[in-house]
Amino acid sequence: MFETLKRDLDAVLARDPAAHSRWEVYFCYPGFIAVRRHKRAHKAYLKGHFFRARLINFRTYQKTGIDIHPGAQIGERLFIDHGTGVVIGETSVIGDDVTIYQGATLGGTGKDTGKRHPTIGSGAIIGAGAKVLGPITIGEHVKVGAGAIVLKDVPAYCTVVGNPGRVVRGPEKRPDIDLNHADLPDPELERFQGLDRRLEQLEKREKQLEEKENHAKK
């Protein structure tokens, strides 16, 4: 138990430069507190003590602003940064060393039964405000950009952004834990830039034809 606790604490220290000590993380980090309390709720859930599990979940939500359903399966060293507004649904499955930022949702798409929430591969990063919806699979080490809405499977080592989410980079090898999620492609901007370049070429061509026509008239 203490080894698991130490690994969870060290995972936060390794991924958050604002953290100064294990004591600070243990007492002051809502994401760490929510994950630790979820372990208790999940054990109660597996034993069929559903009311107790939901009570732990509810009190955790009141304390941290993070809503993790007791049924969610969470791997080792999950880091929820800041955490306010994070929602993780009942049938979600999260691998090891996953990072989730504030406002992200691992949710369903309706009133389906059975597996209805995402599976997140190890090492994945879910950006702030991202929504990953339905029984889809996000591969290992995938980066989901801030504000993305992902409704389809994403292969491992890819980057997905936008609404609806589109793969804009990858698959590409990168470090096991790569927290650089700010330097992401902007496909809309790239499209507009391409149109702007094309328009500039057409205007230049039109000007050349006009000069050629004027020269022929002379």
Q: What is the pLDDT along the chain (218 residues), one digit of tens a residue?
A: 788 889 999 999 999 999 999 999 999 999 999 999 999 999 999 999 999 999 999 999 999 999 999 999 999 999 999 999 999 999 999 999 999 999 999 999 877 788 999 999 999 999 999 999 999 999 999 999 999 999 999 999 999 998 888 888 777 666 566 666 666 666 666 666 778 888 888 888 888 888 777 777 66
Domain residues for the domain of 26 are: 2-185
Q: Which two tokens stand for residue 10?
A: 């060290």
> Looking at the structure, do residues 90 and 151 belong to the same domain, yes or no?
yes
Domain count, the chain: 2
Q: What is the pLDDT of residue 40?
A: 96
Tell me, yes or no, whether 126 and 214 share the same domain: no
Residue showing tokens 């602003």? 65
Amino acid at 76: E
What pLDDT score was predicted for residue 85?
A: 95
Whether residues 63 and 12 fall in one domain: yes
**pLDDT at residue 185, rounded to an integer:** 65
pLDDT of residue 181: 61
Same domain, 198 and 172: no
Q: 9 with 106, same domain?
A: yes
Tell me how far apart the terminal alpha carbons of the chain are, to the nearest angstrom: 92
Can you spell out the DSSP letters for the chain? -HHHHHHHHHHHHHH-TT---HHHHHHH-HHHHHHHHHHHHHHHHHTT-HHHHHHHHHHHHHHHS-EE-TT-EE-TT-EEES-TT-EE-TT-EE-TT-EEETT-EEE-SSS--SS-S-EE-TT-EE-TT-EEESS-EEPTT-EE-TT-EE-S-B-TT-EEETTTTEEEE-S----SS----SS---HHHHHHHHHHHHHHHHHHHHHHHHHHHHHHH-
pLDDT at 210: 82
Output the pLDDT for position 175: 56
pLDDT at 187: 64
**134, 207: one domain:** no
What pLDDT, on a 0 to 100 scale, did the predictor assign at position 30? 96
Residues 6 and 112 both lie in one domain: yes
Q: What is the pLDDT of residue 75?
A: 95
